[in-house]
Amino acid sequence: MHDNYPVHTANIVRRWIEDQPQLEVLPWPSYSPDLNPIENVWANIVNVWEPEEERTRQQLLNHMMREWEVLRRKPQIIHNHVTSLSDRLRDVIANNGLWTKY
């Protein structure tokens, strides 16, 4: 399952999926709310990224590792993302499957 985000529907990805007979792509609305808490964790990492300063592959890797360690020292952040799932689901249902504040 993927959310039809352009990266997921690029020709190379689409062809790869078509070449995998064991995979079945499930219908999923474009730009659907993401209920996976890891997306919020990645957002924490990306939101403090400085693209003008960290441009090379190694700089990006260093950034990701540094920010991951920050999150490891603050487990309450990840805990809050996970425990908010019931509120997320409630909001998605109330919004008929559209975006929520999460």
Q: With the CA atoms of 72, 102, 36 and 44 taken in that order, what torsion angle do they form, in degrees rounded to the nearest 10? A: -30
E strands, the chain, are none
pLDDT digits (tens, 9 = 90+) for 5-43: 676 678 888 899 899 999 888 877 665 556 778 888 888
- C-alpha 54/C-alpha 16 separation (Å) is 31
pLDDT digits (tens, 9 = 90+) for 48-66: 999 999 999 999 999 999 9
Annotate 28-45 with b (16+ C-beta within 10 A) or e (fewer): eeeeebbeebeebbeebb
Q: Quick check: pTM over 0.85?
A: no
pLDDT digits (tens, 9 = 90+) for 66-79: 999 999 999 999 99
93 close to 24: Cβ distance less than 8 angstroms: no
**To 10 degrees, what angle do helices 75-83 and 37-46 make?**
140
